[in-house]
Structure 1
Amino acid sequence: MAPGSTRKLRVLLTNDDGPPGPGSPYLIGWYQHLTQNLGWDLKVVIPSTQKSWIGGAFHTAGTINGRYYYPKDTDGQGEISSSRRGLKEGEIGEWVLLDASPASCANIALQNLFPGEIDLVISGPNFGRNASSALTLSSGTLGAAFSSSLSGVRSIALSYGNMTEHIPTTFHKPAFELSSRIIQRLIENWSPHDNRVLYGINIPMVERLLHEDGMRVYWTSVWKSNYRRMFTEVPQVADNSSRTPDVIVPREGGGNPEDALEGKDLAFRFNPDYSELLSKSAPPEGTDSWALNVDAVSVTPYLTNFAELPESEHSFSSLQDREWKFE
């Protein structure tokens, strides 16, 4: 949208937490804030169920089915319909639910449902932080934003970091207000010629949001973190004596490989070890995780070609210099 334009900003809202509910507590309030307080023209296309930790995956097999969702202004709960219809009393919009990943939802929205009609994509607010390389590269919230950026549309991933077990609802409104102020600043200063840049915003849901002097906001870099254990073994008690193993894993040091599986299934459950990722002392100053740990907002710029190293680290004067040589 050109500077000074009076046309409403046309925004696609997506997420990885799905429709409003305990696992997606911010979506309805955020939607109301953007439509009622800012007057933005919002389209909502979201996964029909929780799709966290799925990264930028696309659904490539089978058919992706969708339905229409009509949330009410009280708690966001609404009626699901297989076909479009008019709004009923108390309903505040028509959303689209897709049986798909966040990245798929974003692409379908931009390329199939509303082609050429979106100025900005906001993915989130996510229920939880998306800071550090380990969480960022796994995030469905970031996956949708990267997908949108690769479609040539300005994109923002918004995440609310749960720094305590219980998040008071009094934190919601100031978080929405701060989020929209940051996003408006980004829009005003966004290069009109480069949509390869997208932004990740992390806001800690802490008491500081209620302070009169507000919360500090920092430009940050990504903390280069590592995964630890992501799965735990699930004990199996059923009698599997007649089961034929799909994979035979030999014991260390030799022996009969079938002995290692006798009376035991291979079964694991997703149960990440967050101890390092949530450490207060590990993240270096100036990184996204550091900002959250000091009760500040992290704003991190990304490039859609994020896997490419900076030119300063690999300087080439010609095409021949770029070519690998093997002796």
Structure 2
Amino acid sequence: MRILLTNDDGIHAPGLEVLESIARDLSDDVWVVAPETDQSGASHSLTLSDPLRSREIGPKRFAVSGTPTDCVIMGLRHLLDTPPDLVLSGVNRGQNIADDTTYSGTIAGAMEGVALGVKSFALSQAYGWDAASQVNWDCARTHGARVIRKLLAVETPGDTLFNINFPDCAPDDIKGLQVTRQGKRDQNLLMVDAREDGRGRPYYWLAFRRHLSNPAEGTDLYAIYNNYIAVTPVKLDLTDHDMLASVAGALAE
């Protein structure tokens, strides 16, 4: 089995090393095509107005001056001599659940794999709500290959990927796997941090507040808060099918 790896934290991110160890438990044919720099929050964006540059930094290992989506396209359409059987994106530094899903470059890497016809999974490792917390990668490293093997046996539609999130706990404290739906936080956590530079001119950081929600059972939020590995099937089709009839009726009047 040939596996293509990417991420949004960049080619030198520790989570990518964790993903490589997971992938090598599954196959000895592992390729890495990852962004040259951190692309967190890039979502499913493409680089169209600037050229892409690719740099080979080792056997079957490339850094690309673009987004996770660019990397998957470069891997499948240019760098690999034959297509992969699986695309793995991650392991992200921090969970990608609930509202994070639409912002995540990690999930977008898997989205592009699916869009190009390859079974694809996104993997993320949650970590503490204290801003000074360090990421404990052992949970993803220990359980990642086992979870992927189980999911490889599942027949999936051509536009569906799996979003896998590992909770912030020791590997032995995992309570199990939960198949979840995308949750919704109690509040939007994005904030604008306004500052001034040395000349008194304003500049801004977009940042996330650390806040625990009170999620419903069955959601990815609930699973992660309660030490379960959350597996969420995600479709590329964003149509609100429940709304079709009512909108058609309104437009027909």
TM-score normalised over the length of structure 1: 0.69
Aligned counterpart for 2:72 among listed residues 106, 109, 113:
106
RMSD over aligned CA atoms reads: 2.3
**Larger Cα Rg: Structure 1 or Structure 2?**
1
Supply the distance in 2 between the matched residues of 1:123 and 1:110 (Cα, whole angstroms). Answer: 14
What pairs with 1:295-306 in structure 2 (closer than 5 Å)? Answer: 295-305=227-237
Q: Which has the higher helix share?
A: 2
Supply the distance in 2 between the matched residues of 1:117 and 1:283 (Cα, whole angstroms). Answer: 40
Q: Does 1:267 align with 2:199?
A: no
**Over residues 37-80 of structure 1, what are the superposed CA-to-partner deviations in whole Å (9 max), with x where a residue is unaligned?**
3334111100011111111111111211110112xxxxxxxxxx
Listed as ranges, the gaps of 5+ residues in structure 1 are: 1-8, 71-92, 240-264
AA of the residue aligned to 1:210? D
Do 1:228 and 1:272's aligned partners in 2 also have CA atoms closer than 8 Å? yes
What pairs with 1:273-292 in structure 2 (closer than 5 Å)? Answer: 273-275=209-211, 279=212, 281-292=213-224
Supply the distance in 2 between the matched residues of 1:44 and 1:114 (Cα, whole angstroms). Answer: 10
Secondary structure, aligned partner of 1:285: coil
Alpha-carbon distance, 1:204 to partner: 1.2
Supply the distance in 2 between the matched residues of 1:167 and 1:234 (Cα, whole angstroms). Answer: 28
Aligned counterpart for 1:309 among listed residues 216, 232, 240:
240
Secondary structure, aligned partner of 1:325: helix
Supply the distance in 2 between the matched residues of 1:131 and 1:177 (Cα, whole angstroms). Answer: 20
Q: Does 1:38 align with 2:32?
A: no
**Over residues 188-225 of structure 1, what are the superposed CA-to-partner deviations in whole Å (9 max), with x where a residue is unaligned?**
1124xx22111100001312x134xx531100000123
Match of 1:252 in 2: none
AA of the residue aligned to 1:53? G
Q: Which has the higher strand share?
A: 2
Match of 2:44 in 1: 56
Supply the distance in 1 between the matched residues of 2:252 and 2:67 (Cα, whole angstroms). Answer: 42
Secondary structure, aligned partner of 2:166: strand
Match of 1:204 in 2: 167
Alpha-carbon distance, 1:155 to partner: 0.9
AA of the residue aligned to 2:134? H
Match of 1:17 in 2: 9
Alpha-carbon distance, 1:238 to partner: 2.0
Supply the distance in 1 between the matched residues of 2:197 and 2:112 (Cα, whole angstroms). Answer: 39
Structure-2 change in CA distance of 1:266 and 1:293 (3 Å) = same
Alpha-carbon distance, 1:33 to partner: 4.0
Do 2:6 and 2:89's aligned partners in 1 also have CA atoms closer than 8 Å? yes
Supply the distance in 2 between the matched residues of 1:326 and 1:28 (Cα, whole angstroms). Answer: 55
Alpha-carbon distance, 1:227 to partner: 2.5
Do 1:163 and 1:204's aligned partners in 2 also have CA atoms closer than 8 Å? no
Match of 2:118 in 1: 153
AA of the residue aligned to 1:26? G
Supply the distance in 2 between the matched residues of 1:115 and 1:95 (Cα, whole angstroms). Answer: 13
**Sequence identity, in percent?**
25
Listed as ranges, the gaps of 5+ residues in structure 2 are: none
Structure-2 change in CA distance of 1:151 and 1:206 (3 Å) = same
**Over residues 100-125 of structure 1, what are the superposed CA-to-partner deviations in whole Å (9 max), with x where a residue is unaligned?**
01111112211222365211110011
Supply the distance in 2 between the matched residues of 1:324 and 1:115 (Cα, whole angstroms). Answer: 51
AA of the residue aligned to 1:272? F
TM-score normalised over the length of structure 2: 0.88
**Over residues 77-136 of structure 1, what are the superposed CA-to-partner deviations in whole Å (9 max), with x where a residue is unaligned?**
xxxxxxxxxxxxxxxx4301000011111122112223652111100111110011x211
Give the stretch that moved more between structures: 195-204 or 37-46.
37-46
Structure-2 change in CA distance of 1:115 and 1:57 (3 Å) = farther
Alpha-carbon distance, 1:228 to partner: 3.7
Structure-2 change in CA distance of 1:189 and 1:204 (3 Å) = same
Match of 1:184 in 2: 149
AA of the residue aligned to 2:178? Y
Supply the distance in 2 between the matched residues of 1:107 and 1:215 (Cα, whole angstroms). Answer: 37
Secondary structure, aligned partner of 1:230: strand
Supply the distance in 2 between the matched residues of 1:12 and 1:287 (Cα, whole angstroms). Answer: 29
Supply the distance in 2 between the matched residues of 1:120 and 1:177 (Cα, whole angstroms). Answer: 20
Secondary structure, aligned partner of 1:26: helix
Do 2:160 and 2:233's aligned partners in 1 also have CA atoms closer than 8 Å? yes
